[in-house]
Amino acid sequence: MKTLDKKVAIITGAGSGIGRAIALLYSSEGAIVVLTDVDDKGGNDTLNEIKSKGGEAIFIKADTSNPQDSERVVNETMNKYSALHISVNNAGISGPLSFTGDYPIEGWNKVISINLSGVFYGMRYQIPAMLKSGGGSIVNIASILGKVGAKGSPAYVAAKHGVIGLTEAAAIEYADQKIRINSIGPGYILTPLLTNALDAATMKLVEGLHPMGRLGKSEEVAELALWLSSEKASFVTGSYYNVDGGYLAQ
């Protein structure tokens, strides 16, 4: 039997990068995957790739910063599959690059609404559905910048620190109700989120920040998410795992 055989999983930000890699891996391990993204094309590309390999999935266009969208995704999932066992709250943006004293208010609000409030909105509706389904596993994608600071990204750093704290609080609340909640802290991963934000020279500099001397791959993050979502991690909750090529060990 496959690792996630017949488990129903919601994955946000599944249109590219880490979200797409997680969706493809979960599907290959037997999960029924509910894909969400604000990007129609990206979401449907992931959907078509899953279906071409014989997997079962649906795509729902949704904005994680909108609580009504998060509620709608869960409701549509429950109406179609009558269960929710796994969720991966992955959707996120990098936001503007500027020091705190000059940081645009609009940029701050957007980053916090997607990267932090979006995770809360997701769990707010996912948890009741999981309780009805007999339990489950939630994986929140944080960042290495959820543990340390970085110049020029105050909103991103604050949001990702918040994701880790939110994960820990919720994990304690539902530990005795068969819901496990954990977070992952990727290092700099080779995704459109990164390549669209940095030029070639900066990318080379960022590679050198990792003791392994390279950027991570989305598939490497997906493998950890799979383990956390599976019964192999049955005694793991409230934890934070970094996938960062040694970045935080420095």
Enumerate the domain spans of the chain.
8-242
**CATH architecture of the domain covering 8-242:** 3-Layer(aba) Sandwich (3.40)
Q: Is 156 a catalytic residue?
A: yes
Catalytic residue among 26, 125, 156, 247: 156
Each residue's pLDDT tens digit, 28-65? 999 999 999 999 999 999 999 999 999 999 999 999 99
Please enumerate in sequence order all residues whose Cβ is within 8 A of that of 43, keeping only pairs 6 or more positions apart, or say none.
14, 15, 35, 36, 37, 59, 61
Please enumerate in sequence order all residues whose Cβ is within 8 A of that of 70, keeping only pairs 6 or more positions apart, or say none.
62, 64, 118, 121, 122, 124, 125, 126
Q: Give the angle 137-79-115 at the CA atoms, nearest 5°.
A: 45
The pTM of this model reads: 0.96
CA–CA distance, 215 with 242 (Å, rounded to integer): 14
Going across the sheet that includes 86-89, the strands are 57-61, 32-37, 8-12, 86-89, 136-141, 179-186, 240-243
Each residue's pLDDT tens digit, 151-199? 999 999 999 999 999 999 999 999 999 999 999 999 999 887 777 777 8
**Mean pLDDT over residues 4-24, rounded?**
97
